[in-house]
Structure 1
Amino acid sequence: MFADEDLYEAVENFLPQVSEYVSSHGGGISLLGVKDGKVYITLTGACGGCSMSLMTTKMVVQRKLRELIHPQLEVINVDGTPENALPSDVYKK
């Protein structure tokens, strides 16, 4: 697919387009890192604790990044749960 460094750069470039929806709801998106085709983000502001954050992550952020970058990307919202933890070896700038 992509080297982690290349994927990080691509996501970083397209994230402003993707974050428009989140911003319209009083939230924000922070890119935490990438690893093996997985993009690790955190939702902030009003979206951070929202019960719809999983839907926002998958149906808005992941869908748009798949359109713009690669159809097999997976976006994970690092939300404090063990299954959504940030790997220690994730690529980040």
Structure 2
Amino acid sequence: MGGGFSFDNPNPLWVDELSKAVAEIIASEVNPVVASHGGHVDLVGVDDGKAIIAFGGGCQGCGMVDVTLKQGVEVMIKDNVPGISEVIDATDHAAGTNPFY
């Protein structure tokens, strides 16, 4: 019978300290900035000192996303998380339906 309530959590649970630190910076520093253009950034994962991210909302398909990545997101993450050497954009920008620019 069972009958217990259960659900799947769609939010990733970062177990290593480096991923936790990157996710925290994205939530507290990066997303408030890109939200002004209707966008958001999600952490896909961290591999060998590289943070892999995906842009969404107004950032997905935006013509200025490379500037946002290199002069904004990457700087914020690398300045606050010493173990990160690079930030990689894994977004399918061709699938963006409402880019900001």
TM-score of the superposed pair, with normalisation by structure 2 = 0.69
Query: Which structure 2 segments of 5+ residues have no match?
Result: 1-14, 94-101
Q: Which has the higher Rg, Structure 1 or Structure 2?
A: 2
1:42 counterpart residue number: 54
Partner amino acid, structure 1, of 2:21: A
Task: Name the % identity.
Answer: 35
Per-residue deviation, residues 11-63 of structure 1 (Å, max 9, x unmatched): 11211212221111110111100101100011000101101111111110100
What value does the CA root-mean-square deviation take over the aligned residues? 2.0
Runs of 4+ in structure 1 deviating by more than 4 angstroms, as ranges, are: none
**Structure 1 stretches lacking a partner, 5+ long:** 82-93
Q: Distance in 2 between matches of 1:62 and 1:39?
A: 9
Q: What number of residue pairs does the alignment pair up? A: 78
Letter matched to residue 6 of structure 1: E
Of the candidates 1, 5, 23, which is equivalent to residue 12 of structure 1? 23
Question: Does the 8 A contact of 1:18 with 1:61 survive in 2?
Answer: yes
